[in-house]
Structure 1
């Protein structure tokens, strides 16, 4: 629920991000953590079910030994040595644990995202390090809805990204870049399935019409689907009760609208224009998943977002995409 404030003689609505409830995390507090405090924080979040008592990631045994000189644990059952980040998305880490906590705090504080270049400056690390770290966090965020479905009232829409062609200098040499013959072939469409009052599921396709099969798999039977007037959505009528809105006439007619989906596209457009400046096709799904997570948790305080992201990262297994990413290209 949004908080309110008195303006003049009347009541005015205040955006949640401007309220005190949204400011439950301080970067200064995280930055002032000692290595021991950061290690304990990671341990308490990862093994919350056992009150921070280490559990072997190999055999799930809760009986472990500790070392006085190293921050390692040894399983009594299988003798496996492991750290607080072993078997997680931060496995084989090279940065101090406190830097990972700080990186997550910085990352979630960006309402429209946080660029890898800015993160590299904030943490004083190479751009490559920040790039992979940010994508690991996106992968952990996306895992929340990996096999999720939506139901009830669901809005479906698509928006194209990428494939930019620089416009010509002189007006007479310019072309209509919306036409396929004047595009690079790299454009991809993000199709969104957004449950009203619920979660947001983004998927990337070459063409909007290719998404109908995925919609059939991810939108529960019996749902009411809202879509625009595009011809490829005609197939949805055989699957769901489908309500259509003609955007050439209006964006809401009292019967149908896709304003929730448009809200998501507004967020990712702002992230593309103001934060990242360019999102290429191979990474579009990752950025879309991040923006869906931010959109779904926009009413959650940054402190809660921080704990959710740390928890998701520590619950996520080693990334097969991002571990050794730059070494594979060498």
Structure 2
């Protein structure tokens, strides 16, 4: 029987966040920490909650602090309990949470549900530290299959790496012996060498071992890295003396991305694709965390 990795349940969620006050207290702690004194008068007494507004007030000089200011909750009229429940649903969904599904859960308009999910994706703060060790590089193309389009909507010359009707994305994966590999992914205007190489040099430590397919944009990386190549065009997906030259880790990540888009979101516009990539990177990098909800809420602190 499969263990439930996400141990944060709806019962715990309701106990911690029963109303808007509990949600606001959490936001205040994350955005202002354990505030020991008033920034205006220096009073060391704790701030008191103003019941009629989403703010806290100094007991001495009455200086007010609005915890939701400059956050994804700024000026929202939607109850904070709705926001927190949306974040909970967002983190427990396996392949993504669509705006239509959130609309049904909360009873809000589609426009409100779409905006809430967009703000939640903006909140995500992924780990983009410099990568080292064994690294996989690969590009993918997000968009519908040409064969599934109606005859008058088919796009000519769109096979293979052509991205006339698709959006190219680029991924970098850092392997880990413990099985907790980490990935970074970007939307890119194209997959040319002058576009991909600066991202590699910016995010991968010089001297690392990088694994790629035979795409010519990776040519020349062997000057600064140990470059291993597997020739997908020849049916070669694993090579090397120790069978360590492959990009299967990133291929797995791309399959998760495409399953999520095809299964939950159906269609993603190029305008918002970078936010969806942030979401899938967050899901992948936190796949073994027992409380993904708190991982996302804690992004408010940064």
TM-score by length of 2: 0.82
Contact map agreement 2:136 2:173 (CA 8 A) in 1:
yes
Task: Report deviation, 1:75.
Answer: 4.7
Shift of 1:40: 3.5
Inter-partner Cα distance in structure 2 for 1:54 and 1:86: 20
CA distance in 2, matches of 1:56, 1:201: 40
CA distance in 2, matches of 1:117, 1:267: 21
Give the alignment partner of residue 119 of structure 2, picking from 136, 152, 167.
136
- In structure 1, the partner of 2:218 is 233
- Corresponding residue of 1:202: 185
Corresponding residue SS for 1:99: helix
CA offsets per residue over residues 149-206 of structure 1, 9 Å max, x none? 2111110000011376563559xx996631788x6x3522111011112421111112
Provide the residue aligned with 1:305 in structure 2.
Answer: 292
The answer as to 2:209 corresponding to 1:224 is yes
2:135–2:210 CA contact under 8 A, matched in 1? yes
User: Helix, strand or coil for the counterpart of 1:129?
Assistant: helix
CA RMSD, Structure 1 to Structure 2 (Å): 3.1
Cα 1:204–1:100 change in 2 (3 A) is same
Alignment of 1:6-155 (within 5 A): 18-20=2-4, 22-31=5-14, 33-47=18-32, 49-50=33-34, 64-75=47-58, 80-141=63-124, 143-145=125-127, 148-155=129-136
User: Relative to 1, partners in 2 of residues 1:59 and 1:268: Cα closer, same or farther, differing over 3 Å?
Assistant: farther
TM-score (norm 1): 0.76
Match of 1:250, SS state, is: coil
Q: Distance in 2 between matches of 1:60 and 1:243?
A: 60
What is residue 285 of structure 1 aligned with on the other side?
274
In the alignment, the residues of structure 2 paired with residue 96 and residue 280 of structure 1 have an alpha-carbon distance, to the nearest angstrom, of 28
CA distance in 2, matches of 1:60, 1:203: 44
What is the rounded CA distance, in whole Å, between the counterparts of 1:61 and 1:297 in structure 2? 40
Q: CA deviation at 1:39?
A: 3.4
- For each residue in 1:194-226, what CA deviation from the matched residue of structure 2 results, as whole angstroms up to 9, or x when unmatched? 111242111111222221111111111121111
2:245 maps to which residue? 256
How many angstroms does 1:297 deviate by?
0.9
Instruction: Give, in angstroms, the shift of residue 61 of structure 1.
Output: 8.5
Alpha carbons of 1:116 and 1:231: their partners in 2 closer, same or farther (altered >3 Å)?
Answer: same
Aligned-partner SS, 1:154: strand
Structure 2 runs not aligned, ≥5 long = none
1:126 is displaced (CA, Å) by 1.4
- How many pairs does the alignment contain? 287
Please give the alpha-carbon distance, in whole angstroms, between the structure 2 residues aligned to 1:241 and 1:77: 63
